[in-house]
Amino acid sequence: MTLSDEQDAIGANSPHDYSGLRALFVNTSLKRQATDSHTQKLLNVSALMMEKQGVTVDHLHLLDHDVPPGVYPDMRDHGWERDDWPAIWERVQAAQILVIGTPLWLGEESSVCRVLIERLYAMSGELNDKGQSVYYGKVGGCVITGNEDGIKHTAMTLGFALNHLGYTIPPQADCGWIGEAGPGPSYGDDVDGAPAGYDNDFTRRNTTIMTWNLMHMADLLHRAGGLPNHGNDRSAWSAGCRFDYENPDYRA
């Protein structure tokens, strides 16, 4: 998998240094192996662009792990024999950029993707050292593939979920590819000796814009130390706290 000439040129002429950033790409394909996943092929395009800019990239194929559904940090405390989420959570925390990849089924994200959202939601009670959601200061986007309609609808669902949890969503932080409606080639399938979708200008453009906006926004937040906590300090709402915004140390 290589980048287009335009994508390579944009990267080569960048004045920015993003070597301090880390990105986690999570593939929620229903395919048992990431190597069989069409969604992984498009995730790889975005990941390669980031790697060329010095971003440390981490790939996670969710079906490689035992991650049961649920909205608790460790489902072993709720009847499940195994739960790999606590180890995955460390990788989520380490990344300033989260990119969720999902195929489309009946116009919706995969069932595996819903499990990921549930488990991310399970950690929404965690706070950072500013009293904000632990997801503050991180950015999120999504990559969607399939051969039926639903890219924008699914991007809306995932974008809202991530934003509600505390992720910052940059402009145009989604991309995707769908073939003709109905049975047909998926992204990367061989069609007359060429991979389907690789030369699609709309997908190339949106993948590029998403990738660079994720890096731009993550860098801005990283250098700023995240978001100020004035007005969004959740720990200040706990019982017994009083508000004194004229006092720099108003959490009392």
pLDDT 10s digits, 32-85:
999 889 999 999 999 999 999 999 999 999 999 999 999 999 999 999 999 999
Question: For residues 106 and 118, what is the distance between their CA atoms, to the nearest angstrom?
Answer: 20
Superfamily, domain 5-237:
Flavodoxin domain (3.40.50.360)
pLDDT of residue 47: 98
Whole-number Cα distances in Å, 172 to 140, 143, 153, 195, 246? 11, 11, 14, 25, 38
- Give counts: helices (H), strands (E), the chain: 6, 7
pLDDT of residue 249: 56
Q: Which residues of the chain have pLDDT under 50?
A: 250-252
DSSP code for 247:
S
> Which alpha helices (H) appear in the chain, and where do they start and end?
5-12, 38-52, 85-94, 111-122, 151-165, 201-224
Which pTM value belongs to this model? 0.92
pLDDT of residue 180: 77
pLDDT of residue 193: 84
Q: Taking every pair of C-alpha atoms in the chain, what is the biggest distance, in angstroms?
A: 69
The single residue listed with the structure tokens 């609808």 is 153
pLDDT of residue 189: 81
CB 97 within 8 A of CB 214: yes
Burial of 55 (0-12, 13-18, 19+ CB in 10 A): buried
Residue 238 neighbours by CB under 8 Å, 6+ apart = none
